[in-house]
Structures are given as structure tokens and as C-alpha cells.
Amino acid sequence: MKDVAGKVAFITGGAAGLGLAMAQSFTAAGMKVAIADIEDSALDAAASMFSESNAEVITMKTDVTDRDSMAEARAKTLEAFGKVHVLCNNAGVAINGNIADMSYKDWDWVMKVNLDGVINGIVTFINDIRSHGEGGHVVNTASIAGQHGMAHLGIYCASKFAVVGISETMRLDLAADNIGVSVLCPGVVETGIGNSERNRPDEYGGANDPAMANSGGSDVEMEVMQPSAIGDIVLHAIQNDQFYLLTHREFEPAVQKRSDEIRSAFEYWADYRAEHNV
């Protein structure tokens, strides 16, 4: 979508971190933005930040895991702006720890936000984007943890691999409707993700261990990027129809290792079948 000025974006988890950075890059390019987020204080801060500029931004309290809440957000966005062109399914949470120690509540919370949240965004908005015929773009925020398995990030990896798979299919299915797709797979960016438990509802265990999300992950020496750079990268990807947004090159060897292992597994089992005649 080369011409973004005047187009409307809906961003989940848009009041902080990467989502807020997307909102800043989009408004700087003349887009209108609807920010949906679960956190009141972040929504208030985002609203007051944008009220000091000429940007056309609305903010709304939304829980991506709740389909009624998403329907309400859709109604508010259409009422304010009439259309939606760009959907950023970005809200996400992380939890660290050995997969063997994860409880059902851990699984349910992370999968609800990171996977169901994306599904709910797609089902809520995709026909709005399709029907106006002006084209559009969907950005799904996954992670480098959606490109290779990482120690102590099992639930997070499960959710992000799913988001990558959904995105690869969306690219195939939506091309005919002139809707581009990008899947954002960053390494480390300086945001509040390490303190995700601040938004963990009581029914999923509550905000009881904010420090838990700060350990483990990868042995790779990691660059910590700033959110503003990611906001600009996402805008560029929308304008230039880029699919895989792989921003942290230090993870390339690990992803390559996975691809190499998959290729040799094809060879191994082809040899096995030939040898055993099965």
C-alpha cells in the first residue's frame, strides 16, 4: 500500500511499546489511527501525547481476548473514521520458565492474548478491509520466537509459531483482495514486555510475579532495539509489501540451523524409505 496518507489503522496493544511506536510512525505519515489496549494508564498517556499534536487518533479500552470487546472497538473505529485499511494484531504477553513447570493458567493466558487475540482481530476486521475495495494490509506481530524454538519460552514460541503460520496463509488467501500481509519477528526491543504480568487477569493467575518474565530465552548476544525503529520498519513494510520483518540479524544462524536440520531430516527419511522399501 504505497499511498498511506489518510488511511486508517487499527492497532491492538497500541498504547505502549511496539504498538505505540507504530501509531507514531503511522500518524507521522498522515494516517488515522485507532489505538486499542487493555491498560488504562497507558491509554491515558497515549491519548494525552497525541492530543498535543494534529494527529487523528482515537484510543479505546479493549481486551483482545474478548470478542465482544473487539466488536465494540470495531464499531468505535468505524464510527470515528468510516473505514479500516491497516490492521495491526500486535498485543502480546510473554512468560518465561521451563515448559514442564507451566500451568494451565500460564498456557491459557498467553495463548488467549497472543493467538486468540490475533484470530479475533482477523475475524473482527478482515471483511471491513476487503469490502471497501481500496486495498489494505495486515501486520501480525509474532517474534523471532516464532522462527525457532527457544529455551524457557515454550508457550510464547507456541503462540508465535502459530502467528507466523496464520500470516503465511493469509498472504496466500488475501492477495486476490489486494490485502498485503507482514509478520513482524523482532528479537529484543526495549518495551514493557518483560513486565507483561502487569496485565495478567486474576482468572489466569493474576499479576503475581512480574519478575518471572525476565529470564531465559537465548544464548545469542542480543541487540536491544528501540521501538521507534520498529514503528518505521512496519510503516516501510506496509508501503513496500514486505512479508517477513526479521529485524535482528544475530538470530539468522539459529534460524538457518533449524532450516538445515529440516532439510537433512527430509534426506534422512527419504534414505530410510528407500532402504526399507516403505
Ligand X SMILES: NC(=O)c1ccc[n+]([C@@H]2O[C@H](COP(=O)([O-])OP(=O)(O)OC[C@H]3O[C@@H](n4cnc5c(N)ncnc54)[C@H](O)[C@@H]3O)[C@@H](O)[C@H]2O)c1
Contact footprint for ligand X (CB under 6 A): 12-13, 15-19, 37-39, 42, 62-65, 90-94, 113, 141, 143, 186, 188-189, 191-193, 196, 199
Shorter beta-carbon distance to ligand X: residue 67 or 130: 67
Residue 139's Cβ-count burial label (10 Å; 0-12, 13-18, 19+) is buried
C-alpha cell at position 205: 493467575
C-alpha cell at position 115: 493467538
User: 105: how many CB neighbours lie within 10 A of its CB?
Assistant: 15
Residue (of 121, 246, 113, 275) closest to 182 by Cα position: 246
Residue 268's Cβ-count burial label (10 Å; 0-12, 13-18, 19+) is exposed
**Under a CB-based contact definition with an 8 Å cutoff, are residues 243 and 147 in contact?**
no
Shorter beta-carbon distance to ligand X: residue 62 or 96: 62
Residue among 104, 156, 204, 244 flagged as catalytic: 156
- 58 Rama sector, left if φ>0, alpha if ψ -120 to 50, beta otherwise: beta
Shortest Cβ 232–ligand X spacing (Å): 15
Give the sign of the dihedral formed by CA 248, CA 249, CA 250, CA 256: positive
Tell how strand 32-37 and strand 8-12 pair up: parallel
Shortest Cβ 249–ligand X spacing (Å): 15
Shortest Cβ 273–ligand X spacing (Å): 39
Could you tell me which residues are beta bridge partners of residue 9? 33, 86
Shortest Cβ 55–ligand X spacing (Å): 18
Shorter beta-carbon distance to ligand X: residue 27 or 90: 90
Amino acid at 9: A
Give the sign of the dihedral formed by CA 107, CA 91, CA 247, CA 191: negative
Shortest Cβ 27–ligand X spacing (Å): 17
User: 50: how many CB neighbours lie within 10 A of its CB?
Assistant: 20
Shorter beta-carbon distance to ligand X: residue 37 or 106: 37
Shortest Cβ 74–ligand X spacing (Å): 14
User: 256: how many CB neighbours lie within 10 A of its CB?
Assistant: 11
Shorter beta-carbon distance to ligand X: residue 92 or 136: 92
> How far is Cα 268 from Cα 273, in angstroms, rounded to an integer?
9
Shorter beta-carbon distance to ligand X: residue 167 or 196: 196
| 156 in catalytic set | yes
**Under a CB-based contact definition with an 8 Å cutoff, are residues 32 and 57 in contact?**
yes
Residues annotated as catalytic are: 156
